[in-house]
Structure 1
Amino acid sequence: MSSEQDGKPGKGNRGLVARLTLASVAMFGFGFALVPLYDVFCEVTGISSSSTTRAAAEPVALEVDYDRKVTVEFVATTNQRDIWRFTPEETRMRVHPGKLYTTHYLATNLDERDRMGHAVPDVSPAGATRYVQKVECFCFEEQLFAGEESQRMPVLFYVDPELPRNIGTVTLNYSFFAQDVVGEK
């Protein structure tokens, strides 16, 4: 009588069970490794991740490159047009790398209720992310807006002189999102 008929798994089935168990353990481990791997990938490629909302860059004594100018474009987006009006005060600036500049974004809560807003920054091209340093930015904290209130929010930044010379234009995009309505859940 064969072992399959006795109700005991055969040698082939034991191997299959072992391989399936090993595959399950490997997939489980890979799931845990995805977050740190994604963070490393984002850092290497310069793609925005949660690290782009890091704390303010410490102003350092940089040598201003007066022989070079870089165009910085400012973009504002929101997918909640019925709640927010959000625009950059200036759409572009020509800047010298190493010099500190200030610009502003304008946001209006179109709702009658108080709202919290949060901006998520993104820098393009991806290779320029590490060279655009924000010293002060409204994106570092959530912003409280009273009903129908407008705010002029500053961004104090510089472009690092180490920005590769083949990058002549950098785009700084902020996406603005509403958090929970204040006092409601």
Structure 2
Amino acid sequence: MMGRLSPNAKTASLASLMALAMTGLGFAAVPLYDLFCRVTGFGGTTQRYDPVAAAAEPQILSDTISVRFDANVSPNLPWKFYPEHPRDTVSVGARDMAIFIAENNSSQPVVGTASFNVTPTQAGQYFTKIQCFCFTQQRLEPGQQMRMPVLFFVDPKIKDDPDARDVQEITLSYTFHPSDPVDEGKKAS
């Protein structure tokens, strides 16, 4: 029969259990926060359109919203990046497309990844991207210029939200950052 644990052993066991739980929460925090932002639109996180999950195509309303397109580049990325048209007026619920242009100004191939957000933040959960260059890494050869589309719509549910129904302008903002090229042949044998 085992004897009782000493007070020091109980404290050590409890501290070890707490450290293990905190480590687990630390690893789960990023994916849980990402999930929370995608579901709620928190911090201007946009929605990603899933045609399988969508019950039906959104209804197109007669209401319109102005969408402003903002493009930024990290100082560590030798690219020029800008929207083809900085502003568009879209019908709520209708699909629309914006084109962004990126150009590699260096003498080396460069891979970049775009991060994005929507302001005002309460509109983020209603701004839905169907297709976007931001879903994958983009590789540009030296001097290469690329036109990159984003297909999107503003969900008509925005008009039912008391915090977002009066939004007249939405800003979709991208920032390109350098990223490591996809591992090609770097796998250990």
| Bin of the TM-score, shorter chain as denominator length | 0.7 to 0.9
CA gap of 1:16–1:42, structure 2 versus 1, over 3 A, is: same
3-state SS in 2 of match to 1:93: strand
| 2:7 counterpart of 1:21 | no
2:169 is matched with which residue? 169
3-state SS in 2 of match to 1:123: strand
User: How high is the sequence identity, in percent, across the aligned residues?
Assistant: 36
**Further displaced range: 36-45 or 123-132:** 36-45
Partners of 2:46 and 2:69 lie apart in 1 by: 16
1:6 is matched with which residue? none
Partners of 1:143 and 1:62 lie apart in 2 by: 30
Contact (CA 8 Å) 1:82, 1:110: kept in 2 or not? no
Give the superposition deviation at 1:15.
5.0
Contact (CA 8 Å) 2:46, 2:127: kept in 1 or not? no
Contact (CA 8 Å) 1:78, 1:176: kept in 2 or not? yes
TM-score scaled by structure 1? Answer: 0.74
Q: Structure 2 counterpart of 1:61, which letter?
A: E
Contact (CA 8 Å) 1:45, 1:127: kept in 2 or not? no
Partners of 1:147 and 1:132 lie apart in 2 by: 34
Q: Kindly tell me the number of residue pairs found equivalent between the two proteins.
A: 172
Partners of 1:99 and 1:152 lie apart in 2 by: 22
Cα deviations across residues 101-145 of structure 1 (Å, max 9, x unaligned)?
Answer: 222111110001122232222222233223212223222332232
Give the superposition deviation at 1:65.
0.9
| 2:158 counterpart of 1:158 | no
Partners of 2:13 and 2:113 lie apart in 1 by: 49
3-state SS in 2 of match to 1:23: helix
Of residues 95, 105, 114, the one that matches 1:100 is 95
Q: Structure 1 counterpart of 2:133, which letter?
A: F
CA gap of 1:84–1:27, structure 2 versus 1, over 3 A, is: same
3-state SS in 2 of match to 1:144: strand
Partners of 1:17 and 1:81 lie apart in 2 by: 47
CA gap of 1:25–1:150, structure 2 versus 1, over 3 A, is: closer
| 2:108 counterpart of 1:113 | yes
TM-score scaled by structure 2? Answer: 0.73
Give the superposition deviation at 1:82.
5.8
**Where in structure 1 are there 5+ consecutive unaligned residues?**
1-10
3-state SS in 2 of match to 1:64: coil
CA gap of 1:16–1:103, structure 2 versus 1, over 3 A, is: closer
3-state SS in 2 of match to 1:80: coil
Give the superposition deviation at 1:40.
4.2
Partners of 2:130 and 2:26 lie apart in 1 by: 36
